């Protein structure tokens, strides 16, 4: 529908006309007025100069659709993938996003512990060192797998169609599985280096505490932050080691400390509680996303 604009009306529309945001009807009306009004044509030139200056000083434009599609394709498994194939693609998409310090610190710490254990040349001392390091290494790694404040890659991953639960579960499987394999390798190396040392008792020294401490670290990381979770896990584990050293010194333990020491040796109970905490943290993950908005 054609409409006639007076000079005042046309002047008020010149800025949006220059910006190209007018509706088709208003744009046609302004164009018709410009043909007969030299003053408005002069004003339009000024607005065009302003538009060019703004564009020249504006920051880089947002990534285009093709760039975003490429990012999503890298971070999100194909919808056609199901079952094991879907899991493998999801794992592959998250491997490069987990903090590199986790991949480096865990083997370095356990390797140092094994080196000290071999230098000591005592099966009991080597087992205690491995039992002291393995749960803590796993817990610290788990504490930092969902740290949005220092992990921009996690926020990108959460912006994809993959659910927060799947992202968290994938990272948990990656990091915990990685630390579990490292601990098993270190245990087998320690058992092989000491004649008469059984593998199963060595594994029992750290397997239950590793599950429990990792589950606790993940729950605390989601509720109070990764750094607080790491500090809390370390303090709890240091207390556990102090109790173990007190017992090793043949000193009588107070009833609360004796109960705490017995708790840390109850592998079945520790694994059960650890699995419950890990499952609860994964269930809570999407609700935490909503609460943080």
d(CA 261, CA 198): 22
Report yes or no: 240 and 134 within 8 Å, Cβ to Cβ: no
pLDDT tens by residue, 192-204? 776 666 778 888 8
In sequence order, what are the residues at sequence separation of 6 or more whose Cβ sits closer than 8 angstroms to the Cβ of residue 273? 211, 212, 215
Half-sphere exposure for 105 (CA within 13 Å, toward CB): 16
Average pLDDT over the chain reads 76
Q: Which residue has 């949005």 as its token pair?
A: 148
Report yes or no: 238 and 175 within 8 Å, Cβ to Cβ: no
pTM: 0.62
pLDDT tens by residue, 155-178? 555 555 566 777 788 888 888 889
Question: Could you tell me which of 243, 241, 252 has the C-alpha nearest to residue 206?
Answer: 241
Specify the pLDDT at position 6.
79
Query: In this structure, what token pair is assigned to residue 104?
Result: 């480096």
pLDDT-flagged residues of the chain (< 50): 1, 79-81, 150, 290-293
């Amino acid at each position: 529908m054609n409409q006639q604009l007076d000079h005042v009306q046309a002047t008020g529309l010149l800025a949006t006309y220059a910006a190209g945001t007018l509706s088709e009807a208003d744009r046609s009306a302004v164009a018709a007025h410009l043909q007969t009004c030299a003053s408005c044509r002069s004003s339009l030139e000024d607005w065009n100069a302003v538009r060019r200056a703004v564009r020249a000083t504006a920051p880089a434009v947002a990534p285009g659709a093709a760039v975003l599609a490429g990012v999503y394709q890298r971070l999100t498994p194909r919808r056609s993938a199901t079952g094991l194939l879907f899991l493998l693609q999801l794992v592959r998409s998250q491997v490069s996003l987990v903090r590199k310090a986790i991949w480096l610190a865990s083997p370095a710490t356990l390797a140092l512990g094994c080196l000290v254990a071999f230098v000591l040349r005592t099966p009991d001392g080597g087992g205690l060192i491995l039992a002291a390091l393995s749960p803590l290494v796993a817990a610290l790694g788990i504490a930092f797998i969902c740290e949005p404040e220092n992990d921009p890659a996690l926020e990108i991953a959460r912006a994809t169609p993959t659910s927060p639960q799947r992202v968290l579960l994938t990272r948990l499987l990656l990091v915990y599985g990685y630390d579990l394999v490292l601990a098993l390798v270190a245990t087998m190396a320690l058992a092989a280096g000491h004649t008469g040392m059984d593998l199963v008792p060595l594994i029992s020294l750290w397997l239950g505490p590793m599950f429990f401490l990792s589950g606790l670290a993940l729950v605390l990381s989601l509720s109070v932050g990764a750094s607080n979770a790491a500090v809390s896990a370390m303090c709890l584990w240091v207390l556990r080691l102090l109790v173990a050293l007190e017992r090793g010194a043949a000193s009588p333990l107070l009833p609360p400390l004796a109960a705490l020491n017995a708790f840390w040796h109850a592998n079945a109970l520790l694994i059960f509680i650890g699995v419950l905490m890990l499952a609860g943290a994964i269930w809570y993950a999407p609700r935490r996303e909503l609460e943080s908005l």
